[in-house]
Structures are given as C-alpha cells and as structure tokens.
Amino acid sequence: MRRKFGALPIGVLTVALVASGCSETTNDPAGGNQQSVVQTGSIATDPADSQGPAKAVEGATKGGTVKLLHAAEFEHLDPQKIYVSDALSMATQFARTLTGYKEDGTGALKLVGDLATNAGEDVNGDCKVWKYTLKDGLKFEDGTPITGADVVYGVSRSFDPEWGVGPTYIQQWLTGAVEYNTTYKGPFQSAGAEVPGLKADGNVITFTFPQPQCETPYAVAMPTTAPVPQAKDTKGDYDRKPVSSGPYMIKEHAYDQYIDFVRNPNWDANTDPIRNAYPDGIRVEFGIDAEASANRIVANAADDQTAFMWANVPAAVLSKTNTPEVKERVKAGPSQYVEYTWINTDRVTDLKVRQALNYAVDRDAIIKVRGGTDQFGSTIISPTIAGYENFNAYDGGPTGNAEKAKELLGGKTIKLTYAFPNVPVRQQMAAKTKEVYAKAGIELVLTPLDPATYYDSVGTKGNQYDLIRGGWGADWPSASTVIPALLDGRTIRDKGNQNLAYFNNDEVNKEIDRIKGLKATESAAEWAKLDKKIMTDFAPLIPQYYIGNYEITGSKVGGTFLSDSYGHLTLNTMFVKP
Amino acid sequence: MFRFLIKRLLLASTTLVAISIVTFLLFFAVPSSPAWVMCGRNCSPERIAQVEQSLGLDQPITKQYTDFVQGIFVGRTIDDAGTIRECEAPCLGYSFRSKEPVTDTITRSLPITVSIVGGAMVIFLTVGVGLGMLAALKKGTVFDRVAIGASVGFASTQTYTLGGVLLLVLVYSTGLLPNPHYTPITENPLDWASGMLLPWITLGLINSAMYARLSRAQMIETLQEDFVRTARAKGLSPGVVNRRHALRAAITPIVTIAGVDLGAYLGGVVITESVFSLNGIGREAAQAVTDLNLPIVMATVLLAAFFIVTMNIIVDMLYAVIDPRVRLG
Amino acid sequence: MSNTPAAADSRSPSTEDTAVAVVQPETAAKAFVGRSPGQLAWIRLKRDRTAFASFITVVFFILLAVLAPVISRLYGITATEGFSEKLTYQGLPTGYLGGISGEHWLGLEAGIGRDLFMQLIFGMRTSLIIAFLSATISIVLGVILGIVSGYFGGWVDQTLTWFTDFMLAFPFLVFALAIIPIINTASYDVGEEVPGSFRIAVIIGVFALFGWMTTARLVRGQILSLREREYVEAARAAGAGSGHILFKQLLPNIWAPILVSFSLALPGFIAAEAALSFLNIGVVEPTPDLGRLVYYGRQWLGTPDWAYFLIPATTVFIAVLAFNLLGDSLRDALDPKSSK
C-alpha cells in the first residue's frame, strides 16, 4: 500500500519562540540508525482468540471523544476503495472484515477471525479452498443482520473496472489473472452474474482459488472483504457515507471540514475480539497539516488534550518533543514502509551505473532532511517483515562512497533525470540527492511532477525518467506483498505500474513463483534471500531508508500504540483519560 | 441612476461570462485529465476513456460549456460514473471528489471565509481608518509619527509571517488565545468569535496599517481643500468642520477601496485560511486546482469574480450617495 | 459611462495579504512656477532622512544580490553546497544559534544543511529579479494601455476599460495556481528539466499579466484630465501627430505618479513572490529563493534554530519596508501640495 506524500504542508508554524534562545545544539550520535523490533506476526490457531469481547485495557474508562487532527480528507471511505494507510486505520472502526489483527503494543501481531469465527479454514490443506463462517449476532448500523451474501457483495464491488483503487489481491487470486475484471465486472456492470470462485451459503463463505494462496487469512483482513448491504449501496456516494459494521458509524460528514463518528448501537462487543471501543465518539478534523497538528498537540491546550495525529511529527517540530512531558506522549517505532529511489532499468541498462548509484547514496544526509525518525535501509523488504535480514550489497558507509561510485563509472560523467512529486519536503530531498550525486560525477536533472497525477506519470511504461522516487509498505507482514508486487516483470503494463524499475528478469520471476507456492513458515527466509539476490545481481532500485513512525497524542489519550498493521496509532484500544 | 445601473449590470455580466470561458479553456489546456485523478493508479486507457465519457469530457468543449451555463439557470442532469443525478438550478456542477453538488461545497466553506473577512474588515475599518484620521488631525505630533511608523511596519509584513509568529506566541507557547477554528455563529456566537480572533487580528492588523496610511493621506489632502477652509472661515468650530465636512469627503475614496477589497477577499483568502488551518473557499479553490476538480474551480473563480464585480457596482452607487459631487449618468 | 475614481483599486496584483497601497497622488502633475517639479522633488527628497536611509538600504540589497557570485567565491561556499554532517538527526544545526560560526556567518538551513548566508543572497537575487522585472513589465504595459485608453477615448477606451475590469475580477492566486504548472509542463517535454530561469520567467509573466491594471487606470485618469489642456490643444493645432502628443507632450507630465507606482509595486511583488512559495507554485529547488526560505524557515520557529526564520524574514521585512518608505518619500517629494 502507499502512504500519503506527507501532504502539501500549506502549513503553519510552531512553538516557543521565547523558550529556545541560545543553548548549544549538540550532535546526537544515537540518531538515525537504531535497530528496530522485528515483528512477530502470526496467524491464530486457537479459535478462542477470535472470540469477543476484546481484552480490557488496564485503566481504561468508557466515554469522551477523541479527536484526530488530519491534513486532508480521506481519499476514500468506501471499504472497497480504501488503500491508503490513514483510511485503512479509520476503516477498522466502521468496516469489519473477515479477519483482523489483534495487537497489544508489544509487537506481537496476531491475525484472528473478526467477522469470521476463525482466521480461515484451509479446506483441502492445499491453500486453494478457504472457508469462513460468520459469527452470530453481527449487525449493520441499521440493525439488519450481516450475512455471507453481504460479504460476497462487498467483494464483488471491488471488481468494478471504473474504481480500481483498492487492493487487488482477492480479485486476482479468484480469477487467477492480473487483469481480473475482463469477464466479471462487478455488480453494476455485470449485474446478476456470480463472482468467480466466491460463494456464500447462509453464514458460510467459500473462496475457491485456481492457484494455492496460502496467505488468504491476511488478504481477507483488508477492507475488500468488508460487508456492504446491497439494498443500501449508493455506489459512488457510498464513499461519503458507508454503512457501518463496526463500533462506530458516521453521524455527520462535512466534506473537507470534519467527520463525526458516534457509537453504532447495533455493534455487539461480544462478537468483537479486537476492538474495545472506549470513547463515545471519534471526531476527525480536516485541513490541519502535520505542522499545525503537531504544534497543537505538543502545546496540549485544553481542547487538544484528547487529540492525536496520524502523521509523523514533522522535522521542524521534532525538537519540541524532547522534554520529558512531551516525550511521554510520543509513540515511535518502525513501520512497514521503505523508501526507494527506483532506477528505470529500461533506460539505465548498465548494471555498473546502477551499482554506482547505490554506492554513492548519502543516506545520512537524506534522513536528516526528513528529521531523522527513519532508519538507514538497504534492503527491499522492511525490518517489520517476517524473515527480514539486514544486509547492504553496496555498503558505502552512512554517507555513501563517491569514490567507489566513480571507480565503477570508470571516469564517465553521466546525466540522469530524477522524478519526484512536487511537494516541499520532496523538493528538498531532491535538492539534497542532486547535491550528493554531484560528488560522484552523476548529474541529476530534477523533474518535479504534479503530485495529484504523480503515479500516473511515473507508472507509464516508456516514461522519460531515469530515477523515480517511490515507497512501498507491505499490506501484511509478508514479503509476498512486496517483492511480487514490485518486481515481478510479468505484471508490467502500459500504465499504472508498481514496478517502477520496469525490471523484468526470468530468473527472478521463476523464483517468485516458487516461493509463492511455499507455506508462510518456509517462504519468509526465501523471500529475504531473493531480496539479497535482486539487490546484488541487478540493483534495480536504491533502498533509502525504513520509514519510522513518530506520532503524538494529547495528554488525555490513553491506551493507544502504533499499530503494526497499518502503522498509525490504533483506535481499537484508545480511551480518554478522565 | 437607473440607466447607469442597467449599464453596469450588463457590463458586469459580460465580464463574468468572459471569465467563465477563460477558466473553462484553461482547464482544457491541462495536460493531465481529471479522469486520471478520479480513476486512480490501476486505470487502463479504456477505463480513463469511460470515466471521461461519464464526466462528459469526451463532448466537444462548446457543448460542455453550454451544459454548464444551462445548469446555472435551469439545472441539468449529470451522469456521474453511471449514476444519474438531477442537479437543480443554480447548478454549478458536481464535485467528483466530494460526491456532492458544488453548491454544497460552497455553502459549507463560504461562511468560514465570510467570517474571517467580516471580522477583519471591522477591525481595519475602525482601527485603521480611525488611527489614520486621528494621525492626520494631529499631523506632525508624536502620535502621528508612532501611528504612521507602526503602520508602515505592519504594512511591510505578510500574513504568513505575522500569523505564524502570533500563532506561536499567543496560542502554542502561552495559550492566551484558542486555536483558530470555525463554529457557525448560529450555533455559538461566543465560540465563533473566539475561534476567529487570531485570523481577525492578523488580517486586521496588516490591513489596518494600509488603511491608516491611506486615510491619513486622504484626510490631510481634504483638510487643505477650499471648502474646508471656507467652513473654517465661516467660524465653524474645528470639531464640526472635521466631522461634518472633512471626514465625509475624506472617507469617500476609502469606502471605494474597502468595497473593492471586500469583494476581493470574499472570493477567498487562501493564505490566511492556510496559515490558520481553516478550510474556507480560498483553500477549497486551491485544493480543486490541485485535484483538477474543474466544477469547483469554475464555481470558486466565478464566485470570486462575482463578488468583485458586484462590490464595484455597489461602491459606485455608494459613491454617489456619500459624495454629493458625483452624479451618475 | 462615468469614470471610475482613479483611486478605486489600491491593490498591487498579488495576494490578499500583501497590502501595499499604491496611493495615487492625483495632483502630482500640477505645474509649479520657478523650478521644475523635478528639481523641486529632488530637493525635497535630498532633505528627507528616511528616504536617504531607505535608499541606502535598497542599494545595499541590490549590491548584495548583484555581487552574490563574487561574495560566494570570497566566502568559499556555494549556494547549493550541503553540510549535513553539521546537523543533528532532528535536522538541527549543531552549535549555537542555528549553527552560526566563523565559517557559516548566518548559520545553516535546518534539515537540508546549506549555508544560510549564501541561500539568502542568492535568494535575494531571484526575488529582486522577479520583483524588478514584474514591476517594470507591468508598469510599461499599464502605461501603454492607460495612455491608449485615455487618449483615444471612444470604443478603444470602453474596450480597454472593460478589459481592465475583467482582469481585476480574476482571482489572482487561484489563477496562478492553475496556470503556472500548466505553462511549466506544457513548455517542456516529459523528462526534460524545466530550467529555473524558465520557471522564474513564468512567474514574472503571471505577475505582469495581473499587475498592470492599477497603473493603466491611473494613467488613463491622468491622460483624461491632461488631454484637454491648452498646451496639448496647441500642439494639436500646430499639426502634431498622436505619437508626438502622446510621448512628447503627455508622457513627461505623468512620469511622477508612474515612478511612485513603480516603487510601491516592487515591495508588493517581493511579498507576492514569497506567497507563491507558500502555495508551492513559487520558485522550486534548487534555485535559491528568498520567499521559499521564509516559508521553510517559519516552520522551525520555536526550535533552537530560530535564525532560520528570523534572518530571512527580517531581510524580507527590511527590504519591503525600505521600498515602501522610499516609495512614500518619493510620492511626498513629487506631490507639489506636500508641505514636508
């Protein structure tokens, strides 16, 4: 999944002009490169894990309203369209899915049945047929019971060719094709037709895949499987007001201004193993960029004590979070996101050049532009992924090795175009990157692109860019949502590519197929090996850093932690301190 | 007077039509299609074509424009990605991002801008003009120097710097003022005012400075006019001369400028709105430009132009009322 | 149609916030006996201490900007050179006051770690180029259109007046937001770098496009009142052509308000250019720019690197103030009624 660019901070300032006078700023050697916790993601085998209610949080009380300060409207609220981390985190509260993540803030991520009674039943033991049974007593916000048909209808909507913005795993797996909607086109264009491979019988839902898909329990945790009542489907307008199956529902949605979520009276805590739903309401306020949000929450005025944010505290505000009182309210940790500079292998065909680019990169300088909550990263998969192994195929030290790069280039000077979204922080990082590569005799031509259509421009095969800024986060803690999604050359299309290196290698493709057929327990280490092989032998990208999360809450927000599933402060256990 | 009004109204409507045409053409010059933004990253060319069709973007530009105009006067039917929507007059189109008629977006964000501008206007018309007039009457005194010095100073700062510093000092560091926020005045007038205080102060101060300089200059000039001298010669007290004669004459050009400013500001104060995180009409417009959300862009541009043009007419009429020397014809 | 009062639009193009009044001395051109108005003005200006101080400041800034490359060579650091090793992981420059030291006189930019002094003077270069060229082009445009409109009258005047109103009714920032990216992307092929100079030219063009109306109205008003004067009639009777009358008879009599307009338009454009950065349509990296520097710097207000905001912001403030004061003094000096 993708992350926001760190929205355009049409932004605001900051705290304590007075407080900060003339003290010396000293270098903090501990900075950027701390070692991170590796997640222990697992699929629950005990059905008791999937039973509600959720375990109470110590010291938690019911009541109050928490307030999310957010830069811009969620791109989507329609569960079948959601694919950005902020909306994914929000959706956990109004769109329940077949499975979900149970977390306690210690890094132990357990996948349990959410709507379903368990994490999934591999009927024949070959990962091809998966059976889910819905719990009893599940209801939509209007009181109508949630049935298997509602889940199937939800999935069917994700096939609509005009949408194409949500995750595509389930659709591709069901049809066994990358272009999943050539025959079946969703309930609007193929009204009456059946979703291929998907059946509901009362409360039982069966997925039948042509190929083995051993990670189905994870895939159905994405909001693709959120139930939608057909009678209340308002198509395009559903994006504004989806029907809730979770503990909260939308009371008022003033677009670009705010959303008020209130309790869903028809949600039954006894069916829900994941959510505590302590606050009486969740208010989301839009138009407050990260700078303003962070400053407000740091200042902790009465109104903002129940506030929190789903964006990193920006670099400029970081130093204001150093006092113990504020530090206590910061939640920092690793995320599943890795930042890359893609090398367009259609254009930069010389492996030596790609290796030189990898040697010369000054990660230290680049991280500092963003304010140092990230960690040096030199692998394709992030440390939060099962099987992760730390290595650097082109170790030029933290500040890069321009000499080694020059040596590889053999004295040539080269000129490359560098595409990035035209938002301030990316501009600065691009300027920094240009400066860094100049030292190795590589001239970068900076081409800032319109952020709204950035991925359209760079995702078009045959584009004119040599280097492309990009980033990726695993959809669940397995490299199967990273390497195949990004580097399987057979997925390259004319437009809308994720493989921004346009890298296509038979050997790698075969290896991808082989590992995909393995059980999750065996595949983890194999993916890590493939990661190393791709970097060493082909260098189609330059991993820059593992994005670190650094979010903050007001003093009255309790019980929350950074969720390992979507990388933001979790609402599941959040409560308002009295 | 009546003839004048008719003539001005006709001219004003041609201006609005021209502006709408230029804005329309402008967005057809955009190299990327709104369909891309709508359809997302998995979009194939065929799908883009479909989306364009449903948005009516495949129609000839003249047809699209006449549809738009028709919508304003008699309403129209919009095919939004397969959903047929009836959009009643005045229909400014349908926002594909927020899934609602553009008029809804406007009615939500306009009150915010009106609140900011209205309050700031009160400040700069009272504080600014008052200070300027006083300074003119006390020309050459310490008061005059301080007032005029301060106003040149404030006139040389910008909302984003002054607003930033005020936010830091008055809100984040000391908590003296509440965070800027918007509550409808009908809901809680006190909260409305407290949330708007900082934008008012910022926009008010910077503009007060400008108005102070302006009114001082006008007043000084007026005081040198013959009719003022005559009034004094008649033996009228200085107070009466200043209030009855000079003030009235000096205020006329200020009303003109204030009117034009009001028109310009009501169309959106993007920077002020951004600095204080208030999603008024200016920010909606800026966002719409980034999203290539043509219906919103059209509506906000037209609305802004409408305010300017209308205020111009009102100002001209007021001019005739305030200044007996002006005869409209 | 009645003439709109000349003072009706006080605003330079730009933003709601750049409140820089261009107050028009309507009477500036009235003739005096004895010394020429020009001589009188010069005498007044020389006596004005504020004007002198502002003038020196303006010259100082212009010199800094013009000599930036020379200064850079002497200083030994370029504008694009980074010193990330002197930053902490929170992006703050090490040392005192945002990294001010013998090597970095004004410290470093937080985050990106470039020398602030170099960014400042090279940024000033960009800002002043934009301001001067925008002001010059818009004033020239305004004067030409104003003269044509006022002198020829009739349908020419009506058309141009309508066009002026039309341009004034355009919301400038929204238009700038829309058109600047369009021009930049349409003028160059994909993958080709849009040079910084081109981006600057686009900004100047947009400013000029939206900056001429005030001057045009002012000049038109002046011409309307002048063209019926005896000396113009005399010239006409003597068989002088329109060109002669326009440029030899009328123009010399309205240069004073034009000069004032120009000097007051400059600070407006400096401030407006900074506002563009705020909306992300200004000058982009790696071209140094004063407006963008203020925009970045203000986010760091309240951190130990206060210099990052205060220094560029103060520079912009002083520059705008100096230009404003100079413009004011110029107006006072050129106004025969002024008792200063």
Average pLDDT for A247-264:
95
Confidence bin at A2 (pLDDT 50/70/90) = low
d(CA A577, CA B19): 54
Considering only CB atoms, which chain B residues are within 8 Å of C16?
159, 203, 264-265, 269-272
Burial of B150 by CB count in 10 Å (0-12 exposed, 13-18 middle, 19+ buried)?
middle
Question: What whole-number percentage of chain A has pLDDT above 70?
Answer: 93
The contacts of residue C282 (CB under 8 Å, 6+ apart) are: C203, C273, C274, C276, C289, C291, C292, C295
Query: Which residues have a Cβ under 8 Å from the Cβ of A208 and sit 6 or more positions away?
Result: A128, A129, A174, A197, A198, A199
**Angstroms from A289 CA to nearest CA on chain B:** 7
Angle of helix B281-291 relative to helix B294-322, nearest 10 degrees?
Answer: 150
pTM for this one?
0.88
Which one of B37, B173, B277 has the shortest CB-CB distance to A453?
B37
Q: Which of B57-61, B156-160, C122-126, C215-219 has the lowest mean pLDDT?
A: B57-61
Residue C7 has pLDDT above 70, yes or no: no
Could you report the per-residue pLDDT of A504-531, keeping only the tens digit for each?
999 999 999 899 888 777 888 999 999 9
- So what's the pLDDT on residue A473? 87
Taking only residues 245 to 264 of chain A, the set having a beta carbon closer than 8 angstroms to any beta carbon of chain B reads: 254-257
In terms of average pLDDT, the best of A243-252, A326-335, B223-232, C158-167 is A243-252
CA count, 13 A, side-chain hemisphere, A486: 31
pLDDT band at C65; cut points 50, 70, 90: very high
Query: C125: Cβ–Cβ under 8 A, 6 or more apart, which residues?
Result: C65, C66, C68, C288
Q: Is C90 within 8 Å of chain A by CB?
A: yes
Amino acid at B281: I
Q: What CATH number should be reported for the domain whose range is B103-322?
A: 1.10.3720.10
Q: Where are the domains of chain B?
A: 35-91, 103-322
Residues of A in contact with C92 (CB under 8 A): 25, 319
* Record: contact B169-A299, CB cut-off 8 A: no
- The residue count of chain C comes to 340
The predicted pLDDT at position B1 comes to 66
Task: Say if residues B305 and C170 touch (Cβ distance below 8 Å).
Answer: yes
Among A5-19, A206-220, A401-415, C140-154, where is mean pLDDT lowest?
A: A5-19
Most confident region among A259-263, A415-419, C172-176, C266-270 by mean pLDDT: A259-263
Per-residue pLDDT tens over the stretch A51-75: 989 999 989 999 999 999 999 889 8
Nearest-10 Cα torsion for C289, C294, C300, C302: 160
For A185, the token pair is: 């086109």
CA angle B295, B301, B303 (to 5 degrees): 100
Instruction: Check if the beta carbon of residue C78 is closer than 8 Å to that of residue C118.
Output: yes
Is C190 at the interface with chain B, CB within 8 A? no
pLDDT at C197: 87
Cβ contact, residue pair A371, C90, below 8 Å: yes
Chains near B (3 or more Cβ pairs under 8 Å): A, C
Look at strands B76-80 and A414-421 and give their pairing.
unpaired
Q: Give me the mean pLDDT over the A189-203 stretch.
A: 90
The CA distance from C167 to C122, in Å, is 33
**C23-54 confidence digits (pLDDT tens):** 334 444 444 446 666 777 777 777 778 888 88
pLDDT for the residue B139:
84
With 70 as the cut, is the pLDDT of residue A545 above it?
yes
Beta partners for residue A260, in sequence order: A252, A283
CB contact under 8 A, C298 and B172: no
Closest by alpha carbon to A62, among A273, A263, A262, A277?
A277
In angstroms, the CA A74 to CA A257 distance is: 11
Give me the residue from A8, A19, A164 closest to B47, CB to CB: A164
Residue A502 has pLDDT above 90, yes or no: yes
Q: Which chains touch C (3 or more CB pairs under 8 A)?
A: A, B
CB within 8 A of B245, min separation 6: which ones? Answer: B227, B228, B231, B236
Residues 6+ apart with CB under 8 A from B203: B116, B117, B120, B123, B124, B159, B269, B272, C16, C17
What is the torsion angle, in degrees rounded to the nearest 10, for the CA atoms of residue B221, residue B226, residue B227 and residue B230?
130
B-chain residues within 8 Å CB-CB of C171?
264, 267-268, 285, 300-301, 304-305
- The average pLDDT across A180-207 equals 91
**Which range (A253-262, B68-77, B121-130, C162-171) has the least confidence?**
B68-77
A11 band by pLDDT with thresholds 50, 70 and 90: very low
- Residue by residue, pLDDT tens for chain B (329 residues) are 678 788 888 888 898 899 888 888 877 666 556 666 565 555 566 666 766 766 667 777 788 888 888 888 888 877 665 667 777 778 888 887 788 888 999 999 999 999 999 999 999 899 999 999 899 888 888 998 898 888 888 888 888 889 989 999 999 988 899 999 999 999 999 999 999 999 999 999 998 988 888 888 888 888 887 887 888 788 777 777 777 777 877 887 788 888 888 988 998 889 999 999 999 999 998 888 877 787 888 889 889 989 988 988 888 887 777 766 655 54
User: What tokens were used for C152?
Assistant: 């020829």
B151-180, pLDDT tens digit by residue? 888 888 888 889 989 999 999 988 899 999
Q: How far apart are CA B281 and CA B297, in angstroms?
A: 10
Measure CA of the first residue to CA of the last residue in chain C; give whole Å.
38
What's the CA dihedral at A48, A52, A55, A56 to 10 degrees? -160
CB atoms within 10 A of CB C238: 8
Coil, strand, or helix at residue A370? helix
- CB < 8 Å from B in window 127-166 of C: 162, 165-166
With CB atoms and an 8 Å threshold, state whether C286 touches A446: yes
Q: Work out the number of other CB atoms within 10 angstroms of the CB of residue A54.
A: 17
Q: What is the mean pLDDT of chain C?
A: 80
